[in-house]
Amino acid sequence: MSTTPNINIANYSVCFIDLLGQKKAMEGQSLLPEHGTKEQYDALIKLIKSSVGKISVIHKHAATMLDAIREPRDPPGPLDEEQLRTWRELHTENTVTQRWSDGLMVFACFGGVPTTTQVRSLYMQFCLAGAMCLVGLAGKAPMRGGIDIAWGVELNPGELYGPAVANAYVLESDCARFPRIVVGEHVGAYLRAAVADPAQDINTATSRIYASICLSTLSRDSQGQLFLDYLSEGFEQAVTSSRIDQLWSSARNFIDEELAVHKSSGDGKLLGRYEALAQYFDSRPPPSKRS
């Protein structure tokens, strides 16, 4: 509902994604280094690419992925004006991207929009978060994130505040631990309710399809935490398709590199996290490695 023309209060789905390792990458840096000579300038560019450059890359990747998901689809055969309007409504989403320092947040308002728009927006967040997490590992830029549903307030257009943001952030920062996407229980309950809706109209049927796809990409870890299983067959069918073999191999090679680094440095905390990530990957081999 709207309390004033400028403030919108409603339930929102929020996907928060964070690029890991930035604190270490910027550790000890202060004023802009001298860069008058070619050697100093080259060193500065290398420094920028290793920190801020990676942030720029993930922002561009996110925009590219969202554009690909939003790519208009041709309707199945000729449609009259009313059918075409319905077709377009079924493929509507209302996601908004809000950039944060070393990450980004994608959110969608659930207030005043059809269930199909809500579910499709959540589906887009699932696709984006899982793909970015996997592509990030393959590109040696590990990320983790959280997805949840709660109420929020847009004090300004494109700027969301409230429990929806806080909950997604907590899932990312406190629950995810290693590069993965954890999912709140409200998200699971919402998707199950959408799948269980018995109505037979086309809008509800479409919502069931998107919700079913999302549910097929969810798993629980040994602690009972819901997470977006970006190596699941459901995610493979919906998103990664034939690219999964190369993405899996590149990501697994990076994991081995990180395991070696943390074994050598004696960093037990990070070693344990990458061991858990390696176990996850080895439990879900790509098609070329399945027996």
pLDDT in tens, the chain (291 residues): 444 556 778 999 999 998 876 566 566 666 777 888 888 888 777 776 666 666 666 667 767 777 776 666 665 555 556 655 665 666 677 889 887 767 789 999 999 999 999 999 999 999 999 999 999 999 898 999 999 999 999 988 888 999 999 999 999 999 999 999 999 999 999 999 999 999 988 889 989 999 999 999 999 999 999 999 999 999 999 999 989 999 999 999 999 999 999 999 999 999 999 999 999 999 999 998 887
pLDDT of residue 81: 65
Quickly list H helices, 15-153.
22-25, 38-50, 52-70, 81-90, 115-138
Q: Name 228's bridge partners.
A: 181, 218
Token match 């100093």: residue? 40
In this predicted structure, what is the pLDDT of residue 76? 55
Residue 104 to residue 242: CA distance in whole angstroms: 27
Closest CA to 203 of 87, 287, 60, 49: 87
pLDDT of residue 3: 47
Bridge partners of 14? Answer: 107, 148
What is the model's pLDDT at position 2?
44
Per-residue pLDDT at 44: 75
Please, is 290 exposed, middle or buried when counting C-beta atoms within 10 Å of its C-beta (0-12, 13-18, 19+)? exposed
Please return the burial class of 151, using the count of CB atoms within 10 Å of its CB with bins 0-12, 13-18 and 19+.
Answer: middle
Nearest by Cα to 132 from 80, 183, 63: 63
**The whole model's pTM is what?**
0.84
Instruction: State how far the Cα of 116 lies from the Cα of 207, in Å rounded to an integer.
Output: 5
At residue 94, the 3 state secondary structure works out as coil
**179 close to 143: Cβ distance less than 8 angstroms:** yes
Question: What is the rounded CA–CA span in Å between residue 97 and residue 72?
Answer: 19
Measuring CA to CA, how many Å separate 245 from each of 237, 281, 287?
A: 13, 12, 7
Question: Please, what is the Cα angle at 268 between 265 and 269, to 5 degrees?
Answer: 115
Domains of the chain plus CATH, in order, are 8-24+38-65+81-241 (3.30.70.1230)
